[in-house]
Structure 1
Amino acid sequence: MAAHLKEAHAELLRTFQSNSSDTTSVRSQLTKLKIALTEAGLLVPSFSVTTSAGGTSDGASRAQLPADVESLVMARDVLEVGALFSIRVKDINSFDRYMNLLKAFYNDFSSQLPPSTNHEPLLGLSLLRLLSSNAIASFHTALEALPSDLVQKSPYLQHPVNLERWLMEGSYSKVWRAQKEAPREEYKFFVDSLMGTIRHEIASCEEKAYDSLPLRDAAMLLFFDNAQDVMNFANERGWIINPTTQTVHFPNAAPDYSKTEIPKKSIIALNLQFAKELESIV
């Protein structure tokens, strides 16, 4: 491993783990390290196959690691920091790209490399990412691909599993409490996103069920802690808030069928034509 890569890797870990980490500095270090890893052939590693000249007539093939274990672990560390950093700066597309790059390290080289402490947290975050985007089928496909014993014993994986079950049950209060029970700080980002989806689903039901609601009741139903959050959400949905009565009024989007004109003549003509066709068949 080149000395400059080793130093840059250590500096990235120090900066990222610092309580007052500078996002600009972390982003810059990640960019430089990804370029260096690409030049070293470590960003997207793959097994190389060699054939022995002796021993058999056609030679014996065997797979070899593309680099030494220490270099591969270093590359994996950089990509894991990149994935976690993407969540910190709320860049979901960047998170997806880092997770795609990490698949080779987690799948192809899992038996050759030492375990990573970030592996399970990142697996849980990738499940949460699918859940928060309502990709339920992909969520279950990804979950079924994981070892069942790992899913059962890992708190990082049980968290998204429980969230999915509570969503199916409609236990939205448990999803709300899960924000405070997240196993890592990064998990709260996706739980917040999930709560945003839930709030809009609840809001759609409220609009159909009520003409108005007290502001306090609306806040409770939508899992908001203060009135200002409700007011911001109401503006987003186009609701009207009466500051005097502290009431939320929902726009009535239901169609008024009493004012709908029924095309009587055309309906009668169609029925007569249909009767004639039936008579001709009989």
Structure 2
Amino acid sequence: MISPQLVQLQKQLKAGFDAHPCDLKKCSALLVQLKLGLSQAGLLPVLATPDPNMDELIFVRDILEIGAFLSIRSKDMPSFVRYFAQLQTFYTDYDTILPPSPRKDPLLGLNLIRLLTENRIADFHTTLESLRLSSEDATENRFIKHPVNVERWLMEGSYSKVWNAREEAPTAEYKFFVDSLMDTIRNEIATCEEVAYDSLPLKDAATLLFFSNRSELLAYAQQRGWQINLVAETITFATKGEEKVEIPKAKLIFANLAYARELEQIV
């Protein structure tokens, strides 16, 4: 039985979650109270039972889904993983008996793109296949289509399309993961630039690194130790001295002589 106090806390959580801007601190405090109350009532963790109470399941599912979204807004990935793991009971064991949740598809898509940010491509495909989507759902469901497209563009090296995907994100939470992907891509491009060029014009460097304004580029260049010439409008990459490798001459001579003696014995 869900207590009136828990129902009231849930209403406050939903109001805070839907507010613009969202008060993350207040919502986090409400989540702590709700999870504690649900645990005391024996509703968390959720266990698959043959005769579940539908109202209780919907109540708990709603709280866990909001918690998952708030985790992303708070940039707390471990928390998102925990919430999503708890929601698997609802999305698998009780999926056919519970009314559909409007938050399910967005969260499934967010989990897929999370796997991409962690470079877990094999897990991405395994998870996608486990959803058992029809070809129509895979192409028409915008929450699933977005991470599928991002994965394809990553494999193609079409980084500009990944960058543009940020503006095409189905929800604001998707942008956080695309930004994380772009940070990884940007670092890889920067490493290649350091090897391929001695210097670049500021404008070209900003374009290659997908920076929309100069201040972001200058901050990034300073972070990597690049030399900035605002008069010449150029960036000079930090030169890397050639690594000197010490060759153990004595050991090599000894090894060669030993090898030669062994050959003589064989002959």
TM-score range, shorter chain: over 0.9
* Counterpart mapping for 1:70-85 below 5 A: 70-85=55-70
Paired with 1:45 and 1:281, the residues of 2 have a C-alpha distance of 73
Query: Residue by residue, what CA displacement relative to the aligned partner does 1:244-280 show, whole Å, maximum 9, x if unpaired?
Result: 21211112226256xx665555544433332222121
Instruction: Select 2:160's aligned residue among 145, 167, 173.
Output: 173
Instruction: Select 1:141's aligned residue among 126, 129, 140.
Output: 126
Query: Residue by residue, what CA displacement relative to the aligned partner does 1:116-165 show, whole Å, maximum 9, x if unpaired?
Result: 00000001111111111212222122112111214343110111111111
Decide whether aligned partners of structure 1 residues 254 and 131 sit closer, same or farther in structure 2, where only a CA change above 3 A counts. Answer: farther
Kindly indicate whether residue 100 of structure 2 is the aligned counterpart of residue 103 of structure 1: no
Contact persistence 2:48–2:89 (CA under 8 A): no
Report the AA paired with residue 39 of structure 2: T
Query: Residue by residue, what CA displacement relative to the aligned partner does 1:88-114 show, whole Å, maximum 9, x if unpaired?
Result: 111111111111111111111111210
Query: Residue by residue, what CA displacement relative to the aligned partner does 1:11-60 show, whole Å, maximum 9, x if unpaired?
Result: 21122112233222111111111111111222222233xxxxxxxxxxxx
Any stretches of 5+ residues in structure 2 without a counterpart? Answer: none
Paired with 1:92 and 1:256, the residues of 2 have a C-alpha distance of 39
Q: 2:26 matched to which residue of 1?
A: 25
TM-score w.r.t. structure 1 length? 0.88
Paired with 1:81 and 1:153, the residues of 2 have a C-alpha distance of 25
Paired with 1:263 and 1:33, the residues of 2 have a C-alpha distance of 67
Q: 2:217 matched to which residue of 1?
A: 230
Task: Choose 1 or 2 for highest CA Rg.
Answer: 1
Q: 1:59 matched to which residue of 2?
A: none
Paired with 1:250 and 1:271, the residues of 2 have a C-alpha distance of 43
Any stretches of 5+ residues in structure 1 without a counterpart? Answer: 49-62
Report the AA paired with residue 251 of structure 1: A
Decide whether aligned partners of structure 1 residues 96 and 238 sit closer, same or farther in structure 2, where only a CA change above 3 A counts. Answer: same
Paired with 1:171 and 1:277, the residues of 2 have a C-alpha distance of 56
Structure 1, 144-153 or 226-235: larger mean CA deviation: 144-153
Query: Residue by residue, what CA displacement relative to the aligned partner does 1:200-252 show, whole Å, maximum 9, x if unpaired?
Result: 01011111111111111111100101111111111222212122212111122
Report the AA paired with residue 129 of structure 2: E
Query: SS of the counterpart of 2:97?
Result: coil
Decide whether aligned partners of structure 1 residues 82 and 265 sit closer, same or farther in structure 2, where only a CA change above 3 A counts. Answer: closer
Paired with 1:232 and 1:224, the residues of 2 have a C-alpha distance of 11
Instruction: Select 1:87's aligned residue among 52, 72, 77.
Output: 72
Paired with 1:11 and 1:227, the residues of 2 have a C-alpha distance of 42
How many pairs align? 264
Q: 1:40 matched to which residue of 2?
A: 41
Contact persistence 1:43–1:101 (CA under 8 A): no
Query: Residue by residue, what CA displacement relative to the aligned partner does 1:158-215 show, whole Å, maximum 9, x if unpaired?
Result: 1111111100100000000000000101100000000000000101111111111111
Q: 2:193 matched to which residue of 1?
A: 206
Instruction: Select 2:108's aligned residue among 119, 123, 126.
Output: 123
Paired with 1:238 and 1:109, the residues of 2 have a C-alpha distance of 54
How many percent identity over aligned positions?
Answer: 49
Contact persistence 2:113–2:177 (CA under 8 A): yes
Contact persistence 1:44–1:104 (CA under 8 A): no
Decide whether aligned partners of structure 1 residues 180 and 280 sit closer, same or farther in structure 2, where only a CA change above 3 A counts. Answer: same
Paired with 2:212 and 2:176, the residues of 1 have a C-alpha distance of 18
Structure 1, 263-272 or 78-87: larger mean CA deviation: 263-272
Paired with 2:73 and 2:247, the residues of 1 have a C-alpha distance of 57
